[in-house]
Amino acid sequence: MAEVTSRCVGPIILMGPPGAGKGTQAKLIAERYGIPQISTGDLLREHVCKGTSLGLQAKEIMARGQLVPDELLYGMVAERLREADCDPGFILDGFPRTPGQAGWLDEFLKHELFDKSNPGKCLPIVVQIDVDYNDLLSRLTGRRSCPACGTIYNVHLQPPRVDELCDLDGSKLVTRNDDREEVIRERLQTYEKLTRPVIDYYGRQGRVALVNGALPVDQVSEQIFHEIERHGC
Ligand code: AP5
């Protein structure tokens, strides 16, 4: 069982292209600091599975590898961030992804989450996970995940002990609908066009910590933990 560090760490925003390891690292940060991972991709996939109105609107857009319009996300994200488990901090995995979303998040945090007498106290730390384009392709085409517990594997790089079965609960692993080569290319282009400016936005505020995501998972985590500890709250 991994060590849990129990203290307020504030919001952590994980940025990086599709396949950079945001989901993998978010789970490890969540385990270490006892704070929730909030993945807008996972939340949207849940809506798609349940066939909600949001899910119906998002389904085709996600299958094409494009971004769901900003206004469709705000209610979903706000509702999740207002849950009590987010009070000591949370990890945003896949949000914000456009300058509009980043501006919305700043306003949300200012008005709803920060201690109003000291609004700078818990500014988010933005961790940018950097990985080469070719590595991203092999990570995404090889990704499998457990539909029951969410554990992420990779058939080339981090295979399960038994082919196609989750190490933790034995469920049959699944491939994401958008991990097809033509869709992956679209997702990577969308990232460069719409999400890269968000990193620039945070960069101008001096908030971005760059980590080398090409290293093994545990070494990437070490860099992230170091940045979180350095940032404090
Ligand atoms: P989302 O689910 O957020 O997908 P993504 O950003 O494309 O990122 P991924 O989940 O593909 O990659 P990851 O960085 O989490 O990598 P992972 O840890 O899995 O979004 C999906 C869609 O939802 C979007 O396209 C959009 O349509 C919609 N959406 C979501 N949020 C939105 C928003 N805010 N606005 C609008 N639309 C939104 O790792 C990948 C693989 O690499 C795995 O196999 C893993 O085992 C392996 N791996 C990880 N780390 C390492 C390592 N260090 N070494 C070797 N292998 C590694």
- How far, in Å, CA of 1 to CA of 109, rounded? 32
Contact yes or no for 145/162 (Cβ under 8 A): no
Q: How confident is the model at residue 2 (pLDDT cuts 50, 70, 90)?
A: low
Residue nearest to atom 40 of ligand 1 (CA): 19
Span 59-118, pLDDT tens digits: 999 999 999 999 999 999 999 999 989 888 899 999 999 999 999 999 999 887 665 554
Q: What is the pLDDT of residue 232?
A: 67
- Residue 38 phi, psi dihedral angles, 5° rounding: -115, 100
Q: Taking the domains of the chain in order of start, what are their residue ranges?
A: 10-35+88-231
CATH class of the domain at 10-35+88-231: alpha beta
Q: Which residues line ligand 1 (CB under 6 A)?
A: 16, 18-24, 39-41, 44, 61-62, 65-68, 73, 94-95, 97, 101, 139, 142-143, 152-154, 157-158, 178, 187, 213, 216-217, 220
Span 13-24, pLDDT tens digits: 999 999 999 999
Residue nearest to atom 47 of ligand 1 (CA): 139
Strand partners, 153: 144
Residue nearest to atom 11 of ligand 1 (CA): 18
Give 157 or 2, the one with higher predicted confidence. 157
Give 123 or 180, the one with higher predicted confidence. 180
- Count of alpha carbons within 13 Å of 41, Cβ hemisphere only? 19
Output the pTM of the full model.
0.92
Which structure tokens are listed for 159? 């295979």
Catalytic residue positions? 22, 97, 143, 176, 187
Among 114-118, 123-127, 160-164, the minimum mean pLDDT is found in 114-118
- Separation of CA 14 from chain center: 6
Q: What is the DSSP letter of 85?
A: G
**Rounded to the nearest whole angstrom, what is the distance from the C-alpha of residue 192 to the centroid of ligand 1?**
14
